[in-house]
Amino acid sequence: MGAASPYTPQKWSKGDKLPAEFRDRQYVIDKYKEYNLPAPKKGYHWVGIGADYYQVSSNGTVYSVGPGG
């Protein structure tokens, strides 16, 4: 058995700013309906980080946390 990972996923809340590494295109969820997420507000988009979903602005500020978040 290997050692447990020292990485603990961080959680963000409304008003928090995601770190730059999580604002990359690879985290953007374009097909939000496939994840049972509501349409994002104008000027916002969904990102998936681990099992969590965040609706964020272009500068990474969290507007809302989706199911699982």
| Structure confidence at residue 1 (pLDDT) | 44
CATH 3.10.450.160 correct for 20-65: yes
pTM of the model: 0.82
* Distance between CA atoms of residues 36 and 57, nearest Å: 20
| Intervals of the chain under pLDDT 70 | 1-9, 68-69
Which pLDDT score is estimated for 5?
44
| 18: its two tokens | 């995601």
30: left (phi over 0), alpha (psi -120 to 50) or beta: alpha
Query: What ranges do the domains of the chain cover?
Result: 20-65
Give the model's pLDDT for residue 69: 58
Secondary structure (3-state) at 65: strand
pLDDT for 67: 78
Looking at residue 68, what is its pLDDT? 66
